[in-house]
Copies of this chain bind each other. A is one copy, B any other.
């Protein structure tokens, strides 16, 4: 396949966002190394602006808009990190943001989006309701829609995370959670263009294994009604992310819900960081033996830390 995102796209994205996003730290734990039998490095995007890697792709997209487009603002629908990221990124450029959120979204999420100065448009909590509300706001305001992952500019922004990771640490394998596949696609492009020998894996809950099934089928198999605790990974691959993943990924591996919760506890106890359940999926996939034992230095991207503290799965 011909990949429509070039090395210079990645380079331009990185230059656009560096200095505004955080260069996030890499953490490491002797105890986790012993459990795994290899050195494991965690790139902590939970410490990123808005508490998630999503700040990268949203900012790259907002900063790359022509002035004529940007002046009408940007819009998205999201009850999660992407909504905050678009709101934050728009504020960095000083343009308007419109975020469509379901009526039943948690107050804390609405507050966070409003805190960046975005306008919230409440909608019915269905895919149809969200899309209708988004279309309406874009039509009325002229705002430019930014998709959470199925967008080359977003993918190019997410790619900067792996680039930083490789600069700070040599890795034999890189494990990336996969939901819509924006971060995984970007990580794969960074790895390929830098001619790294690193094997890149996508990690996914068994209960939302559309990427696993899509890879094996050779076509997108959408996720229907996923029930996983890893709420950031319930989405399906898109037509911009699937071809990149299909061409470049080493494999997609999965783990169970109890493995996710157990890995989440290990990360809280050993790394002392607050993470969303989605971030625990790569470590769970490593501890359940799905990854071949051949790697000495393994990198994991910790994708975000915006978890509801009232609903932590520890008891």
Using CB atoms and an 8 Å cutoff, list the residues of chain A in contact with chain B.
25, 27, 46-47, 51, 265, 268-269, 272-275, 305, 309-310, 312, 314-315
CA distance A268 to B25 in the complex (A): 17
A272 touches B46 (CB 8 A): yes
Which of A27, A51, A274, A314 neighbours the largest number of chain B CB atoms within 10 Å of its CB? A274
Q: Knowing A47-B27, A268-B274, A273-B272 touch, does A310 contact B305 (C-beta < 8 A)?
A: no
- Measured between beta carbons, the chain B residues less than 8 angstroms from A25 are 25
Inter-chain contact B310/A272, CB cutoff 8 Å: no
Interfacial chain B residues near A268, Cβ < 8 Å:
274, 309
B51/A272 in contact, CB under 8 A: yes
Q: Which residue of the partner chain, among B46, B269, B273, B310, contacts A309 with CB atoms under 8 Å?
A: B269
Q: Within the assembled complex, what's the spacing in Å between the Cα atoms of A46 and B66?
A: 45
CA distance A305 to B144 in the complex (A): 43
- Rounded to whole angstroms, the CA-CA distance of A46 and B314 in the bound complex is 20
Residues in B whose Cβ lies below 8 Å from that of A265: 309
Highest count of chain B CB atoms <10 Å: which of A269, A272, A315? A272
User: Would you call A47 and B269 a contact (CB within 8 A)?
Assistant: no
A315 contacts across to B, CB distance below 8 A: 310
- How far, in whole Å, are A314 and B265 apart by their CA atoms in the complex? 16
Can you sample 23 A-B contacts with CB below 8 Å? A25-B25, A27-B47, A46-B272, A47-B272, A51-B272, A265-B309, A268-B274, A268-B309, A269-B274, A269-B309, A272-B273, A272-B274, A272-B275, A272-B305, A273-B273, A273-B274, A274-B274, A309-B312, A309-B314, A310-B314, A310-B315, A312-B312, A312-B314
Q: Give every chain B residue within 8 A of A269 (Cβ-Cβ).
A: 274, 309
Contacts of A273 in B (CB 8 A): 272-274
What are the nearest 7 A-B pairs in CB distance?
A272-B305, A309-B314, A272-B274, A46-B272, A268-B274, A310-B314, A268-B309
Closest-CB distance, A266 to chain B (whole angstroms) = 11
How far is it, in angstroms, between the C-alpha of A42 and the C-alpha of B51 when the chains are bound?
Answer: 17
* A274 contact set on B, CB distance < 8 A: 268-269, 272-274
Contacts of A51 on B, CB cut-off 8 Å? Answer: 272
Chain B residues with CB under 8 Å of A272's CB are 46-47, 51, 273-275, 305
